[in-house]
């Protein structure tokens, strides 16, 4: 049989949607389930929640999902065209949960409408899960059998929890929608009461300056230790609040809050640190992960204290514990250790710093993760991970690789890459 290559091959497979047997024929070992011994080991890892996988015979693997800022008009179109039988029912579910035709906003835009927080957040999360479901249903890819960890950047944590088996897609998408609406409302309230303009600014430095930069910013804004910064800022008016929203990599952080205040802070750093970092305003209409977002914490706490909205699970807790795959918290940069901790940190994540760099370092250096698969729109996450672990695509020297599935044409490269690195380890 002659195999088609690239997008044509994926489109050809789409005509046989819901036929994972065909995908298994084409990618026999990449899509085959692990032996019962490894599957039990993975289950044991998920049950104890400590992230210490005992699986043998392949490099440890992490599946990760993107956050806000990667949204793009038409980002679902290639998936609907290539896999209509799988995508369309999920899209109907998305519209039903959201309560309006979010799929039409994603398809038609315009960009200024899609970029609004209450549209962008559920749109990104939903697109990520559409791609995940296609991988599951059309290619036999199961996170519980292929991955040792899941994680997501900020908003992406909700998709990671779905992928890891902790929260149902319906419940997670509802939480994302409510979170987004409360964040947008909190920003509007701050603007109306205090004036000013709010948003986020990326600060790109040289690696040797990063720790001094973080220390200088914390001293300037007067916050305490990590994990308590949102509480330290409660006595400040919104117009004075600035927080390090993300620590993304060895040379990039993101500031969130009042834009004039951020400008002053950057000038302070340049004057007293003797360093001139590059400042880039991000595509965001709200100051995420700053104390201004505190109303979203209460919204999420209320939802997480309740029951599932999924038909047939109305009397069950919204969080399933244990999940199937350990999931890394944005706040602690470690796997969630209990149901109670998951609920607490997931709610607080709205105001706390996203410890993405620490999360990647932990998985790379302590857990020895060697294969990284990004699922969702945009390649920002893949670029951040690749920069830290020193890989891009398949790397047989290090026994793994860093990939992203953002378009149907990328599926083959990723699945073949997983197949070809399946039996590699650090020693090889």
| Residue 251 confidence class, pLDDT cut points 50, 70, 90 | very high
* Of 24, 133, 136, the residue nearest 88 (C-alpha): 133
Task: Examine the pLDDT at 25 and tell me if it is beyond 90.
Answer: no
Phi/psi class of residue 153: alpha, beta or left (left: φ > 0; alpha: ψ in -120 to 50)? beta
In terms of Cβ atoms closer than 10 Å to its own Cβ (0-12, 13-18, 19+), residue 117 is buried
Query: Which stretches of 282-358 are assigned E, i.e. beta strand?
Result: none
Domains of the chain: 6-184+301-420 (3.40.366.10), 193-288 (3.30.70.250)
Mean pLDDT of the chain: 85
Q: What is the pLDDT of residue 413?
A: 95
* Cα 293 from Cα 285, distance rounded (Å): 12
Task: Examine the pLDDT at 135 and tell me if it is beyond 80.
Answer: yes
Q: What angle do CA 32, 144, 323 make, to 5 degrees?
A: 165
Task: Examine the pLDDT at 26 and tell me if it is beyond 70.
Answer: no
CA distances from 360 to 27, 330, 369, 384 (A): 29, 11, 9, 9
* Cα 89 from Cα 30, distance rounded (Å): 27
* Cα 213 from Cα 205, distance rounded (Å): 8
More confident residue, 17 or 378: 378
* Cα 151 from Cα 388, distance rounded (Å): 15
Laid out side by side, the sheet with 278-281 consists of 242-249, 252-258, 198-204, 278-281
Q: Which two tokens stand for residue 379?
A: 């390649």
Q: What is the pLDDT of residue 272?
A: 78
Tracing tokens 């046989």 back to the chain, one arrives at 16
Gap between the terminal Cα atoms of the chain: 33
Q: What is the pLDDT of residue 164?
A: 98
What is the per-residue DSSP string for 226-259?
TT-HHHHTTTS-GGG-EEEEEEEETTEEEEEEEH
| Least trusted range by pLDDT, from 55-64, 90-99, 219-228 | 219-228
Task: Examine the pLDDT at 354 and tell me if it is beyond 50.
Answer: yes
pLDDT in tens, 272-290: 777 789 999 998 889 999 9
| Residue 235 confidence class, pLDDT cut points 50, 70, 90 | low
CA distances from 112 to 94, 115, 156, 397, 403 (A): 21, 5, 21, 44, 29
């Amino acid at each position: 049989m002659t195999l088609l290559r690239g997008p044509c091959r994926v489109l050809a497979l789409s005509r046989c949607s819901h036929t994972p047997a065909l995908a298994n024929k084409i990618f026999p070992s990449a899509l085959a389930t692990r032996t019962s011994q490894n599957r039990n080991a993975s289950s044991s890892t998920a049950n104890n929640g400590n992230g210490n996988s005992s699986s043998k015979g392949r490099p440890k693997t992490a599946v990760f999902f993107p956050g806000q800022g990667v949204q793009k008009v038409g980002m679902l179109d290639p998936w609907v065209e290539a896999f209509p039988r799988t995508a369309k029912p999920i899209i109907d579910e998305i519209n039903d949960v959201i309560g309006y035709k979010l799929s039409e906003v994603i398809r038609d835009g315009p960009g200024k409408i899609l970029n609004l927080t209450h549209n962008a957040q559920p749109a990104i999360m939903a697109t990520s899960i559409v791609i995940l479901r296609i991988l599951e249903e059309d290619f036999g890819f199961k996170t519980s059998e292929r991955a040792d960890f899941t994680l997501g950047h900020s908003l992406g944590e909700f998709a990671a929890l779905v992928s890891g088996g902790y929260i149902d897609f319906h419940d997670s998408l509802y939480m994302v929608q409510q979170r987004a609406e409360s964040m947008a409302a909190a920003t509007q309230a701050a603007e109306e009461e205090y004036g000013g303009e709010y948003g986020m600014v990326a600060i790109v430095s040289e690696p040797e300056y990063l720790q001094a930069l973080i220390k200088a910013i914390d001293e300037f804004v007067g916050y305490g230790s990590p994990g308590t910064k949102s509480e330290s800022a409660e006595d400040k008016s919104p117009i004075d609040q600035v927080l390090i929203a993300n620590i993304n990599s060895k040379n990039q952080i993101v500031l969130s809050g009042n834009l004039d205040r951020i400008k002053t802070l950057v000038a302070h750093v340049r004057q007293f640190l003797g360093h001139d970092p590059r400042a880039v305003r991000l595509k965001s209409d709200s100051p995420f992960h700053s104390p201004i977002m505190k109303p979203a914490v209460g919204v999420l706490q209320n939802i997480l204290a309740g029951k599932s909205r999924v038909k047939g699970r109305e009397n069950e807790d919204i969080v399933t514990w244990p999940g199937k795959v350990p999931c890394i918290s944005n706040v602690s940069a470690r796997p969630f250790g209990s149901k109670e901790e998951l609920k607490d940190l997931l709610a607080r994540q709205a105001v706390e710093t996203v410890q993405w760099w620490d999360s990647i370092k932990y998985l790379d250096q302590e857990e020895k993760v060697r294969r990284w698969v990004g699922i969702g729109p945009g390649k920002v996450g893949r670029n951040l991970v690749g920069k830290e672990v020193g890989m891009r695509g398949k790397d047989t020297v290090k026994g793994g690789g860093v990939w992203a599935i953002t378009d149907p044409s990328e599926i083959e490269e990723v699945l073949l890459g997983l197949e070809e690195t399946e039996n590699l380890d650090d020693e090889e």
